[in-house]
Structure 1
Amino acid sequence: MENQPYNNPPHTPPYSSLSQSDERMWAMFAHLSALAGFAIPFGNIIGPLVVWQIQKDKSAFVDFHGKESLNFQITMAILYAISFVLVFILVGFGLLVILGLVSLVLFIIASVKANNGEYYKYPFTFRFIQ
């Protein structure tokens, strides 16, 4: 059997196999699932990762929001770790409070935007997943 070239395009999500309301709902869940971090260690990363992995092939809109949420939560986890280390020199306490408030406000804004069918990019986020 001879090698045949791969004729299909690279893996890209279809434009949409979900209804618009389902797309908006799953995109919102990609952001809100970060609340799992309050109950489960690293739940703020696991929640968006699970939603993104389940729904990314069904909608480009959900794929976008899942990646955004995951990138933001990974960035926040890194910043929390740095702040935790800075607690030992008493600077980290304030940073932890500020990070917590900023994180909460930004992912609520992202959830509302996703539910309204808008694309939202978190500010100050490293793009680990493209």
Structure 2
Amino acid sequence: MKQLKEELQSESFWRALTAEFLGTAVFVFSSVGCALPWAGNSPSTLQIALGFGLGVTTVSVFTQGVSGGQLNPAVSFALFLSLRISPLRAVLYMAMQGLGAITACALLYALTPQDIRGELGLNKVSEQP
């Protein structure tokens, strides 16, 4: 219990949570944004892959020293299972990552014109025969 209280009172703990929130938000905003048809045509698979790859690399570098640069609830869960992060840190990291992703999509939805926005790059089964 003492360890839990110390973690909650630690400034580095709250900075790490903020880094996960902002890092995930920036990554999702830039990645989903690069998959939208800004010039009227859908971007190529290579353009989307480069956007995602450069986005996650850049954000990981900036958050690595603060929170470990996880940016993904699956990674946080795996680190919890391997006993590398505490249960509290794992749960709150996953919550902040989810909130960051939702915030990024909401911002992108609000800032993007309807004709470009579409379904924000949603993957789905084609309705064409």
TM interval, shorter chain, is: 0.3 to 0.5
Where relative contact order (Cα < 8 A, 6+ residues apart) is larger, the structure is 2
Q: TM-score, normalised by structure 2?
A: 0.35
Q: TM-score, normalised by structure 1?
A: 0.35
- Greater helix content: 2
